[in-house]
Structure 1
Amino acid sequence: MTAQIIDGKALAADLRSSVKDVVAQIKAEHGVIPGLAVVLVGNDPASEVYVRSKGKQTVEAGMNSFEYRLSEDTSEEELLNLITRLNSDPEVHGILVQLPLPAHLDSKLVINAIDPHKDVDGFHTTNVGMVGTGQDAIVPCTPRGCMMMLAQIYPDLRGKTALVIGHSNIVGKPMGRLLLNADCTVIVAHKSSTNIPELARMADIVVVAAGVPGLVKAEWIKPGATVIDVGINRIPAPERGEGKTRLVGDVCFDEVSEVAGAITPVPGGVGPMTIACLLANTLSACCHLHSFPEPTLLGV
């Protein structure tokens, strides 16, 4: 068996196109342009790359992009004051504070200072609680993207057994809640679990977000199962030359793709969907704040 490859690049392009169409419609009918404000504190190189990409894709979708770059030594009071201003700015519909923050800043305090209706990361405790209880809320971008990818394989998730490997607040926990809300039988495993291969062999769906390169092997996977690899790990690639590296996921892709029914690659799988879902969340936040109908994107 050779697994169907779930093409995250193509799916993300479709999602961005759908978002762009709805943004243009809202602008034409109501004169409103969705706006995303991204706040970066310090000069973490990876965060710099993410912020540039987010800004570029926001503009390409027809939205307004607002960037706030603060120094490494910005005080908590200064950052919270900025968030307060953005909360009350009618042109800003989504607010994202890029993580990680410098050590002297309390990320939980900062995240929960964001208006939950503008919390496009979906990290505010209000959104976390509403997702957990099956209510309409802003869903974290990566889990939302994973659910959209699963929708390409399963028109109906009810009754499927799903294993989530990893229980982070950003991916694992919300992913488990979303699958449970979709009436899956959900198992969440983590670094203290002792029988992960056995659990994986029971699962129709395996979502891996452990941050361990090549953790999941072919013998773990039930034949025909769908495998969503959220891991992005940079490892040495001496075959490419001295000092070279390459990106791999948490799944041994080559061998698992011979057993699974469908699988996401790394790179080119979940990653592209994350920023596309950030745009979708910003659009949803704009619609909610203006009482516009909520758009249906990629059937989800």
Structure 2
Amino acid sequence: MPADPTGSLAQYLAALPEARVRTHAVVAAAIAERAATAPREQELLFIAGLEHPEYEDGADRFWHAVEQLALPEPAGADELPLAWIGYDVVNRFTGRREAQGFLLTDRRLVVKDQVDGVFGTAAPRQYPLFVGSAGVAGSASEIASSASSAYDWEFARSLIDADTASGLGLLLSELLVTAMETLQRLGAELAPEPPTSAELLGRVRELGLGSAVKLPDDPKHAKHFAKLAKKLPLDAGERILIACTDSTLIGAYGFLLTDRGARSKDLGEEPVFTPTEQFVPDQIRLAPDNAHRILLGAGEAHEIPTRFTEQQIAALVTLLREWGEGRLHADAA
């Protein structure tokens, strides 16, 4: 194991085999070269071993992110931290500085977009690097898209506007392609595409919908579900699986997937219900005239709240197709 993980990147690398250190140097240099030709959002990009253009303590900031995001649960004793697209926030409860953003290593992308709470930690999400049938570029794009679409940009809105968020997503994809291509050229074996989860909530997380949907057993949404029950009543014994809902002063609205089908209600409209057996998986799609309306089959239209992004809606379509095909299961109540 690397000695003294609280020290520095140099100390960490000094404890690794020489071949791993050489790999780290080559991949980090390739990332730096690629970033130089795409100078977007350089203030938020920290590359291992490279002086930051604005922060004298850039190396310390990078290592702080590695300590918080990667070292608590490393992907192997010789994992190589390569780059961090991110920022620090001060936790108002603890006063502790916490790293947020996207940490790229030679084995995974580690993402954190929430600070720790009083009663628990906000665990980072992990996206293993893999090469699937789409090749390096396609797989890197898929990883970057999943990570950036699931990111809670709202929490960071004082630092990152919509244009900056879009630029960071593009930069992340470019750096992933560079890192993965360089690793392959050096003879590293990247994992094959991992199988997708067969469990509904696991698939929700994989598709980047974890921060977008509400779960009925989440205590912070208890009041919301109480309001929702008045607008979207369920049949006796029916169980909500996930909720794509929102609320206004006049009440709650949105889309529910239950153990019996899909229910939805738009503001000022009557509720709509489609039983699961009426889902037509190969016809589940977006309505051509409305980017927030999902069609589950002929005449089966459901409205999704406008807070859902284009990527999240596309992910929801994928989820509903797989649910309709019977490829997913929900845990028993």
If the length of structure 1 is used for normalisation, what is the TM-score? 0.25
Largest Rg, 1 or 2: 2
More strand by share: 2
If the length of structure 2 is used for normalisation, what is the TM-score? 0.23
